Every structure is written in structure tokens, then in C-alpha cells.
Chain A
Amino acid sequence: MSAVISHPLSVLPVPASRATQEPAWVRWLLISIALGWLGLFLFIPLAAIFTEALRKGLEVYWASLVDPDALSAIKLTLIATVIAVPANLVFGIAAAWAIAKFEFRGKQLLLTLIDLPFAVSPVIAGLIYVLLFGAQGWFGEWLQAHDVKIIFAVPGIVLATIFVTFPFVARELIPLMQAQGTEEEEAAVTMGASGWQTLWRVTLPNVKWGLLYGVILCNARAMGEFGAVSVVSGHIRGMTNTLPLHVEILYNEYNFAAAFAAASLLAGLALVTLALKSAVEWKTGAELRARNEETSNEH
């Protein structure tokens, strides 16, 4: 029956319904405004970064990247990221698993706490750590007595980065896991699977694209974080400078070519992140469509 109906539709091209379309000039106006806005605030600055970075030639560009201070900043940024992203990956999975699959008291409070780093200004986040671990802070004396340096040192930068990037993975997974419900996990358990087996074989494969998406966003933020890190870092060149802080210092010293060269690295990272993010979105979209088809097939 449906084949009989759909056949003529696929043969005759259906003209787009004019009744539901705006006149041409309205459409063109809206598209131009959108593109103009994007160009002004995104494309031009992005192009500016690369032209400024290369203004004095490739040699200067390269030299400013292999400068020891720049290399040290890159290294520190990578260290902070390599620690913060896996830490928040583990935490995010644990939190999402707990919130989506179990009922417990204080669930709403935990959800609110996970969102806290989004709500709090990064500068405040940095200040919290200074208040806790700084020389005049709560644990300052004890730390000094035991010769542990957190503030104005690498551990502080890592802590601040973890704090700021804390919600990304959890926030991405929670709605996904909640939508998937607990039936597949229950099925796995009735068949004798242990908690670990259920997590590895059922839960994680079902959320793998969402997880990757969360990790990409978390990674981008970890590398680009400025405010919180700036407060705890102390800006010691070659020691506690991350890439974003390095850009600021160079710029303040009117060393524009070097500043923009370092900035171009961050911009390049942002572009790579965007490309990855779109790829993952495309993939999850395909999966979502498949799932929708699955539910519509059920009847």
C-alpha cells in the first residue's frame, strides 16, 4: 500500500512549498547578516592571527616557537592537559554512571556541584586554590613545613585546569546515559555479568561517541584555559607559564610576532578541535538516526 503511494512521489519532483517560505529578499538578508557577523567576529580575527604571526617571515615565526621559554610553555600546557583530561575522564564516567543508573539521596546536589565550574568565574576558581594552598592560605604553613609547593608551581596549574574542565565529560554523558535507561545493564546482570563487565561491554560502548565528544571539549578547554591558571601560576618564565600565559607576556612586551606565533598554535588547536568535534557530531548524529529508526520500527 505504502509502495503504491510513495512511487509517484519519488518520480515527480515535489516543488518546495511556497506557502511556507519567506520571500527571497528576507532569506538573503538573514543569510548575509549571519555571514557578516561570523566574518567580523570570527574569520577576520582568525586570519589576523596567522598574518600577524607570519608578518616577519617564516624564520622569525619558527624561531619564536622553538625559543626555550615557548617550548617550556608548550610542555607545561601538555603536562597539565595530559593529567587533567584523563582525571576528568575517569571522574566523568564515574559521576555519569552514578547519576544516570542509580537512585540515591543528594543526586540533585551532586549534579549542581558538577556544574559549579561552569557557573564560577575561572579567576575565582584560581583564587580558591590560592586561599587554600597559598603561603597565607589554610594549608600554607603545613605545606611550607613539608616543602610542598602547589601555588606558583606545576601542581597548582594542574589543579586549576582540572577544576575548570571538570564538567565537560560528565555533562556530556549524563543526558545520554539517562536517555538510554538501565534495561541493557539489567539484562547484562541477569546473564551473570559483573559490574566491571557491564561497564566495559555494555555501558561504555553505548556512549563511546558522546564520551569522545566530551574528551575533545575537555581537552580544548584544558589547553586554552587562561583565567584560573593565570591566578595560580605566578607567570615564572620557563617554569610556570602555559601557552596562553606565554602569549599574554609576549604581547605585553610588544613582541607581537612571537605572541601571534604562539597564538597561532592555540588557534590551530582550536581548528583541529572543531574538525574533530564536527566529525564526532556527524557520527553521533548517524547513530541517533539509526536509533530513531529502530524505535519507529518497533510498531
Chain B
Amino acid sequence: MSIEVRNINKRFGNFTALNNISLDLPSGELTALLGPSGCGKTTLLRIIAGLEQPDGGNVLFHGKDATGSHVRERKVGFVFQHYALFRHMTVFENVAFGLRVRPRQERPSEAEIRRKVHELLELVQLDWIADRYPAQLSGGQRQRIALARALAVEPQVLLLDEPFGALDAKVRKDLRRWLRRLHDELHITSVFVTHDQEEALEVADRVVVLNKGGIEQVGTPDEVYDQPATPFVYQFLGNVNLFHSRVHDGFAKIGELEVAVDGHEDTQNAAALAYVRPHDIEIHRTPENGSTFAATVVHIHAIGPIVRLELARADATEYVEAELTRERFRELALKEGEEIFVKPRSLRVFIDPNPAVA
């Protein structure tokens, strides 16, 4: 089932949590709401679920306005960050809860409930744990039970609030791959909230990047990573180098380096911010006229498959981070303190909206 969010506004006192948000979530997709804490992502998820009322705007389920309908009627499966399992019930009873609270005429028989619960527990691979209490489970197990419980009511939409936030790094990685496989199996429209860009890029079909109550960019993981729409998205998704530069007649100048910038042919001498990912930086022993700038190697971190270099620009007080493959690093035979030349492979320039007074 598709979800549409139309012009949603939400304020808590003087704080604007969501500022006129509109969003389409196509049927069957797994979408990540990604952003730093306080960006409004959880509020948006709770508004979609009906756990929070928007101050203005509409939520549409499958084209029908659901803004006024109660949480109970929305048929959403909601998974909470801290699982919210019923601590006085066994795992079995937790999963059966949604079936047992149905009105008498819709309630399945005891045998049917039994069958359904065991089917769900098998789906999350925890059938052997049915008689335990939540306190006896590990964090990862609890999260899978919470998911099975949410699926028991056959929701049209699955909403997950920081589903892996309270787990340790190893379990987190396993569980998010497992969630992806589960989604591929069930194809239920799902939205999950996360502040972890790696998680969003790895698991989701689409990523919605939020910041300060507004949407920065919506796109596939590739799109938001390779073509960030705003400086914020660039900085939030992965490591990035920031250069202060000036744009003039379609060229951005960073020290001796001059790069052609599309769409800024008529811009006259404007302050700009240029972004380069560390792995898009080439290191050379000799300068190339106009396409490199000089720097000194300050630090070498040669752990793992990738060698990280910290470079100090010769013509400014900025530091640059670069990532090289081991082969390239060996070829160059770099040492700390040596002078080298930096060539950005792909550079993205944004006109600085509020330049520092020079």
C-alpha cells in the first residue's frame, strides 16, 4: 500500500519539528528516513502511524485520507526502538496479542492463533523461544520478536523507529541484512527511521534525508550518495572534504586549482563551498598545471584495505583527507612530511548561502 504525506506541519511549543513536509512512499518499497537527532524523522514516522497528530496537513494511505482515523484503524505495524515488548507475557503471548484483542466475531480460533504465531516465530527464526519472557532474551532476539508481533496483525504498512539503535555493532549488521531479506520476501511497504547513514544506504530502496524539520533530498542510495542535492546531504552521508573557494565565470578556484562548474557560467566572484569525497582524491608526485594543488602528508593510517592520508594544504590552512588503495600507496611510497600534489577527481560546488565576511 502506498503512503502519501501532504504538507505536514508539527510544532512542539516553540520548536518546529516538521515544516511543510510532502513525501510519496510507493507501495512495496523499503524507505529510510535518515537524519541527525532532532531532525523530525521519528515525529514523521509517528504521524504516519497515527501515534502523533499533525498540526496541519494530511496522511493518505492508498490514496485515502487517513489523517483523522485512529491508530487502531490504520493497520500499521509499528516496531519501537526499545522493542516495547509486554514484559509480563511470554514471547508466544506477545506475538498472539494482536490476534487476541480482535472483536469476538473476527477473532481467530485458538488453534488458528497457535498456527499463526508459530508461523511468524519461524519467520523470524525464533520458534524455539516461544515460552520465554522478554527479560530472558538478548537485544537482537527481542527486536525480532517485536517485528513478528507487528506482523501478526497483517499490517498494510510496517513502520520501524530506529530498529537497530539499541543493539551493538555486530548484531546490528546481521539484523539489518536479515531485515532486507525479510522485506524482499514479504514486499510490505516499510519505512524505517535511522540516524546511521551506512544503515540507510545498505538496507533501503529509497532514502529520505531530513534536516531541521525539512526534506533535503529523496532518492535511491546511489543518488543521495553520488549526487547529493545540498551541502548538508554531502556532509551527512559519508566522509567529505570541504574547500572554501570562489566561483567566477563558470570556474571554481581552489588555490592553484581551477575546475569548470556547470550552471555557474554567469556567476561573478561568489564565495562557494566545494566538496570532494576522500576516495575521489588522487595523489601525484608531480604538479599538473591548473588541476592540482600542493600539500604535505601529515599523517598516514595504513590499517585495513584502505590507506587514509591526512594532508595539509600548502596554500591555505585547510586539511584534506584522502583514501588510497594499498597498491597505489605502495606505488607512491609516501612518507610523512613529504610534499605531494592533490587532484580531486570529482568535485561538487555549492554557492555559499551565507559567506564569511572577508
Stretch touching chain B among A113-121, A141-149, A187-195, A263-271 = A187-195
A183–B102 CB distance below 8 A? no
**Cβ of B173 to closest chain A Cβ, rounded Å:** 16
Question: Residue A184 contacts which of B49, B84, B150 (CB distance < 8 angstroms)?
Answer: B84
Closest to B93 in A: A201
Segment of A11-19, A170-178, A287-295 in the binding face: A287-295
Q: Is B331 on the interface with A (CB-CB < 8 A)? A: no
Chain A residue contacts of B76, Cβ below 8 A? 190
Whether A190 lies near B49 (C-beta < 8 A) is: yes
Is B72 in contact with A189, judged by CB distance below 8 angstroms? Answer: yes
Residues of B within 8 A of A197 (CB): 101
- Please give the distance in Å from A164's CB to the nearest CB on chain B: 32
A205 touches B88 (CB 8 A): yes
Chain B's interface size range is 20 to 34
DSSP majority for the A interface? helix
B153 and A192 contact, CB distance less than 8 A: yes
Task: Indicate if B71 sits at the interface (CB-CB under 8 A).
Answer: yes
What CA separation (Å) do A272 and B193 show in the bound complex?
53
Cβ-closest chain B residue relative to A193: B101
A193/B84 contact (C-beta < 8 A), A294-B134, A299-B166 known: no
Point out the residues of chain B lying under 8 angstroms from A201, CB to CB. 86, 97, 101
Q: Mark A182-214, 1 if CB is under 8 A from B, else 0.
A: 011011111111100100011001100000000
Q: Are A191 and B135 interface neighbours, CB within 8 A?
A: no
- Nearest B residue to A192 by beta-carbon distance? B72
In the complex, chain A residues 236-290 whose Cβ is within 8 Å of any chain B Cβ: 290
Residues of B within 8 A of A294 (CB): 87, 134-135
**Is A298 an interface position by the 8 A CB rule?**
yes
Separation of A194 and B101 alpha carbons in the complex (Å):
8
Tell me the minimal C-beta distance from B181 to chain A in angstroms: 24
With A290-B135, A294-B134, A297-B139 already in contact, the answer to whether A192 and B51 are too (CB < 8 A) is no
Whether B153 pairs with A191 at a CB distance below 8 angstroms is: yes
- Chain B 98-125 interface mask (CB, 8 Å, partner A; 1/0): 1001100000000000000000000000
Q: Does B234 contact A (CB under 8 A)?
A: no
Q: Which residues of B are at the interface with A, using a C-beta cutoff of 8 A?
A: 49, 51, 71-72, 74, 76-78, 80, 82, 84-88, 97-98, 101-102, 134-135, 138-139, 142, 146, 149-150, 152-153, 166, 168
For the complex with contacts A187-B84, A190-B51, A298-B166, 11 further pairs of A-B residues with Cβ separation under 8 Å are: A184-B86, A190-B76, A191-B101, A192-B102, A192-B153, A193-B97, A193-B101, A201-B101, A206-B87, A298-B139, A299-B168
Q: List 24 A-B contacts (CB under 8 A).
A: A183-B84, A184-B84, A184-B87, A186-B71, A187-B78, A187-B86, A187-B149, A188-B97, A190-B72, A190-B76, A191-B149, A191-B152, A191-B153, A192-B153, A193-B97, A193-B98, A205-B86, A206-B86, A206-B87, A291-B135, A293-B135, A298-B142, A299-B139, A299-B166
For the complex of A and B, the 4 pairs showing the least CB-CB separation, nearest first, are: A191-B98, A183-B84, A294-B135, A193-B101
